A and B are shown apart, each in its own frame.
Chain A
Amino acid sequence: MKPGLTVGETLRAHGVTRRGFLKYCAAITSLMALPPSSLKAVAAALEAARRPSVIWLSFQECTGCTESLTRSADATIEELIFNAISLDYHHTLQAASGAAAEAAREQAMHENYGNYLLIVDGSIPIADAGYSTIAGISNRDMLLETAAGAAAIVSVGTCAAFGGIPAARPNPTGAVPVSELITDKPIINVPGCPPIPVVITGVLVQYLTFGLPDLDAQGRPLAFYGQSIHDRCYRRPFYDKGLFADSFDDEGAKKGWCLYKLGCRGPTTYNACATAKWNNGTSFPIESGHPCLGCSEPDFWDTGSFYHALSTPTEAIGEAAVYAAGGGLLIGAAVGAVHQRHKRKAIESHRKVSLDDIDEGAAK
């Protein structure tokens, strides 16, 4: 497939009407947390965007990120947007293998040198090149070679963005994120374990329409990661009122109160789960009654137990929050600072989580 057609032309060729296109633009505008009034600008820019050539490299990963994107149900606009890029190399999805697959990658690089988009999922082992190779090429060599001609790199998933689970202590393979090896290219981090499918396509849409997006300190697009789970959570008003579940089966849990005391990392986690949701918009973890694990944050696996080490408040949060009903944001900032201290402490004195921890956390 050769790039050339615009996204608008490609979608029309697939039988998408203007109304269908506007509908998608309305949904993506909402997801990017843009005001509804910017719908026209989003639609105009997306329609005129040219299809980019995309090379997708998978390193130390579980394929969950690719699954997240491709298992979204058939005939959704996400799939059509995915079709609107020219995916020239993806070794999990392509039919070719071995030398023929590598030839496709080299051809795509040659034809679009300096202009193609490189998507990476998985971390890169640098302790020993032999830990992960593709067609006899080490992950590190393949990344360095392919990144050289890329216009930009999208690190999809927490492994590519921050090292993720392969880099969790003791990190036997010396796993590192893309940003540790590539320092001379724009890198967009799209973390999550896995990332939300519509966020992956949304980042591509944003890149196509407005170019390189504004990023936060962790390299994540502000449009999707600009607000914490906590700020967009439908349980947030209970936090502001000091109404918390103290265990997974108490009255508070049944009434859907805030899961903060059960270890929820919503206040320190930046992602779009609370608005984009999962499983075709069914719900997100907090809506299913479970605290957020913070999977889109660096070192989420090494910050102590999910059920109390990081988030069990040692200060009198309950009382403070009651008085904060009118000034939730201020208290929220204070709590955020407390969290950061806990997180640093937990990373410094990392301890393994046992079943007892989970039982203990659940019993609290």
Chain B
Amino acid sequence: MDEVGAIAIEIEPTVATTGNVLPLLHELHHALLRFRDDGSEHCIDVNSLPLSEQDHRQLESVLGRGEVHARLQALGDSEITETRIPGIWRVIHANADGAVVGRFLEVTACPSILKTQQPDIADGIAHLQRLIDELPGEDQ
């Protein structure tokens, strides 16, 4: 293993940067200013933009990771992370096979998908009632 490990392998990036990261960061900057001033939220569909792998890495390294990281498990995993810029969230949805099906940057105080949804609350109430009914009563 050591001999194999001693071979210096340099992996060159296959695709160079497209130069599209900078305008994207400016868009986020302006969105954050608007959010601060009038509370209007903003969402960017990152998958719809022509970005190379290198661009994605550059974007990751600039935005970094902040204080909050949540994992949602619904039809596959979703990673919801606040970036190191408070108010800018990275939301990545994967399907049950782990394939990324959506990649968004949200300017908000909290991405809406993190909040408990009303239909799920209704299901939860019914579920809790069933659990209560199944418990042995006090007189038993």
Is the C-beta of A30 less than 8 angstroms from some C-beta in chain B?
yes
Q: Which of B47, B52, B101, B117 contacts A19 (CB 8 A)?
A: B117
Residues of chain B with a CB closer than 8 A to A235's CB: 15, 52
Residues of chain A with a CB closer than 8 A to B4's CB: none
Interface contact B120-A36, CB-CB below 8 Å: no
In the complex, the chain A residue whose C-beta lies closest to that of B44 is: A36
Given contacts A30-B102, A73-B97, A254-B14, contact A232 B74 (CB under 8 A): no
Alpha-carbon distance between A254 and B76 when the two chains are bound, in angstroms: 34
Residues of chain B with a CB closer than 8 A to A35's CB: 45
Residues of chain A with a CB closer than 8 A to B120's CB: 17-19
Residues of chain B with a CB closer than 8 A to A281's CB: 95, 99-101
Q: Which of B45, B99, B112 contacts A30 (CB 8 A)?
A: B45
Interface contact A36-B43, CB-CB below 8 Å: yes
Given contacts A26-B104, A73-B97, A275-B47, contact A255 B15 (CB under 8 A): yes
Alpha-carbon distance between A192 and B78 when the two chains are bound, in angstroms: 30
| Chain B 109-137 per-residue mask, 1 if CB under 8 angstroms from chain A, else 0 | 00011000111100100000000000000
Residues of chain A with a CB closer than 8 A to B97's CB: 73, 76, 280
Q: Which of B14, B50, B51, B74 contacts A20 (CB 8 A)?
A: B74
Chain B 77-94 residues near chain A, CB threshold 8 A:
78, 93
Is the C-beta of A256 less than 8 angstroms from some C-beta in chain B?
yes
Per the CB 8 Å criterion, the residue count for chain A at the interface is 38
Is the C-beta of A237 less than 8 angstroms from some C-beta in chain B?
yes
Q: Which of B19, B45, B100, B112 has the most CB of A within 10 A?
A: B45
Is the C-beta of B25 less than 8 angstroms from some C-beta in chain A?
no
Q: Which of A17, A36, A73 contacts B74 (CB 8 A)?
A: A17
Is the C-beta of B68 less than 8 angstroms from some C-beta in chain A?
no
Residues of chain A with a CB closer than 8 A to B117's CB: 17-19, 22
Per the CB 8 Å criterion, the residue count for chain B at the interface is 37
Is the C-beta of B11 less than 8 angstroms from some C-beta in chain A?
no
Interface contact B14-A22, CB-CB below 8 Å: no
Interface contact B74-A23, CB-CB below 8 Å: yes
Q: Which of B20, B101, B104, B113 contacts A237 (CB 8 A)?
A: B20
Residues of chain A with a CB closer than 8 A to B48's CB: 30, 33, 232, 275
Is the C-beta of A310 less than 8 angstroms from some C-beta in chain B?
no
Is the C-beta of B16 less than 8 angstroms from some C-beta in chain A?
yes
Residues of chain A with a CB closer than 8 A to B51's CB: 234
Alpha-carbon distance between A37 and B108 when the two chains are bound, in angstroms: 13
Q: Shortest Cβ distance from A251 into chain B, in angstroms?
A: 11
Alpha-carbon distance between A255 and B54 when the two chains are bound, in angstroms: 11
Interface contact A234-B50, CB-CB below 8 Å: yes
Q: Which of A12, A27, A255 contacts B102 (CB 8 A)?
A: A27
Residues of chain B with a CB closer than 8 A to A20's CB: 74-75
Interface contact A256-B16, CB-CB below 8 Å: yes
Alpha-carbon distance between A233 and B18 when the two chains are bound, in angstroms: 11
Q: List 24 A-B contacts (CB under 8 A).
A: A17-B123, A18-B117, A18-B118, A19-B117, A22-B117, A23-B78, A23-B93, A27-B93, A29-B45, A30-B102, A30-B104, A36-B44, A36-B45, A75-B96, A76-B75, A76-B97, A234-B52, A236-B18, A236-B50, A237-B50, A254-B12, A255-B15, A275-B48, A281-B101
Binding site for B on A (CB under 8 A): 12, 16-20, 22-24, 26-27, 29-30, 33, 35-37, 73-77, 198, 232-238, 254-256, 274-275, 280-282
